Amino acid sequence: MSWDDGQRKRLAMERQILAKYFPQLKWENPTTNTYVWGHLSTNAGNHYGVMLTLPPDYPASCPKAYVYDPNPLPSRGHSLSEASGYMHTLSPHPSGYVQVCHYRNESWLESCTLYKVALKVRFWLEAYEGHLATGNTIDQYLRHMPPAS
């Protein structure tokens, strides 16, 4: 399945936004099975490989966000390899990459952008580094998105 005209226009807009704010993120398979990948840096200067995978009906459905480098992602006493509200993670990628929870599926709107997803992953990485420094769970640093009403 490939993107329709509306999706292609949307992806072109998304590419422009990411090129401006996250130029280190690269696009793969721009016509089907599209994903965005690259390294994000934290305030401490550490670099993490991230991947955003787009569902076939994007932007109607929420993309998935993974940290692929390092793999496995170190932790201090809390599993990152399973879904955890405390750690803001979802089921891992088949390759073992940690899946970052960034939006509730029911709260995703078509107006949400990959820029916002990348920004939330960046926030998660800062919280993750707080976890590494203290052993606290990530929810000590990030608030949970309220359920859709």
Q: What is the CATH number of the domain that holds 101?
A: 3.10.110.10
pLDDT in tens, 113-135: 999 999 999 999 999 999 999 99
**To which residue do tokens 């090129």 refer?**
19
**Residue 79: pLDDT band by 50, 70, 90 thresholds?**
confident
Task: Evaluate whether residue 105 is within a structural domain.
Answer: yes
Separation of alpha carbons 121 and 115, rounded Å: 10
What pLDDT is stored for residue 8 in this prediction? 85
Task: Evaluate whether residue 52 is within a structural domain.
Answer: yes
Task: Evaluate whether residue 147 is within a structural domain.
Answer: no
pLDDT in tens, 8-43: 899 999 999 999 999 999 999 777 789 999 999 999
Token pair recorded at residue 106: 């029911």
**Residue 141: pLDDT band by 50, 70, 90 thresholds?**
very high
Provide the CA 140 distance to its chain's centre, in angstroms.
19
Q: How many separate domains does the chain show?
A: 1
79: containing domain: 5-140
At residue 85, the 3 state secondary structure works out as coil
Task: Evaluate whether residue 146 is within a structural domain.
Answer: no
Separation of alpha carbons 16 and 25, rounded Å: 11
Task: Evaluate whether residue 94 is within a structural domain.
Answer: yes
